[in-house]
Amino acid sequence: MSISMYQASLPVLIRGLTNLQGILGKAQAHAAQKQIEPAVFTNARLAPDMLPLTRQVYIASDTAKGCAARLADVEAPKYEDVEQTFDELHARLQKTIDYLKEFTPQQIDGSEERAITLKMRSGPIEFTGQSYLLGFVLPNFFFHVTTAYDILRHNGVELGKLDYLGGLK
C-alpha cells in the first residue's frame, strides 16, 4: 500500500501545528505560574544569531500554508508576521490549521510531479511536488517546530517528548 501526497503532507503538518499550540500553551501557563513576563519566552532564542521563538512559529506556519497552496497550485494567504503574544501566536497557528483543513485529498494527490519554484535570496530553486514536500517542507517545518520546543525547554518550560509528539494513536 502506498502513501499519498495528501497523507504525507497536510495531516502531518496539522498535527505538528497542533502540538506546537500545546507547547506554547504550556509556556504561557509556565510564565503565568512563575510570574515571568511572557515576552521573555516569545523573544527568546537559542543563540544570538538564531531567530527568536516568534519567528520560529511564523516560519512553521508559513511553511505549512505554503506547502498546501503550492501542492494544490493555488495562492497562499499572506500573514503579516505581527503576532507577539502567546494568544496571538496561538491564533496564527489556528488560522493556519483551519486553512489546511480546507484542502481535500483530491487537491493535493497527484502533485508528485508538479513543478514548484521557490524564490530564495540566493535565487530560485526548482522542485517536483514530491521533492519539495520530502526534501524541503517536512525538514524545514520540523526544524522550526523543534527549535521552538528547544527555546522553551532551554528557558525552563517543563516539556517532554510527548508534548512534541502529541497524542499517540
pTM of the model: 0.96
Contact 159, 34 (CB under 8 A): no
Count of structural domains within the chain: 1
Q: What is the CATH number of the domain that holds 48?
A: 1.20.120.450
In the chain, which stretches have pLDDT less than 50? none
pLDDT of amino acid 167: 79
pLDDT of amino acid 168: 74
Domain that holds residue 93: 5-165
Pairing type for strands 115-120 and 123-128 reads antiparallel
pLDDT of amino acid 105: 98
pLDDT of amino acid 141: 98
Contact 162, 37 (CB under 8 A): no
Residue-by-residue DSSP string for 54-110: HHHHHHHHHHHHHHHHHHHTSPPPP------SHHHHHHHHHHHHHHHHT--HHHHTT
Neighbouring-strand partners of residue 125: 118
pLDDT of amino acid 12: 97
Say how far residue 18 (Cα) sits from the centre of its chain.
Answer: 9
3-state DSSP call for residue 28? helix
Neighbouring-strand partners of residue 115: 128
Give me the half-sphere count of Cα atoms (radius 13 Å) on the Cβ side of residue 28.
Answer: 13
pLDDT of amino acid 164: 96
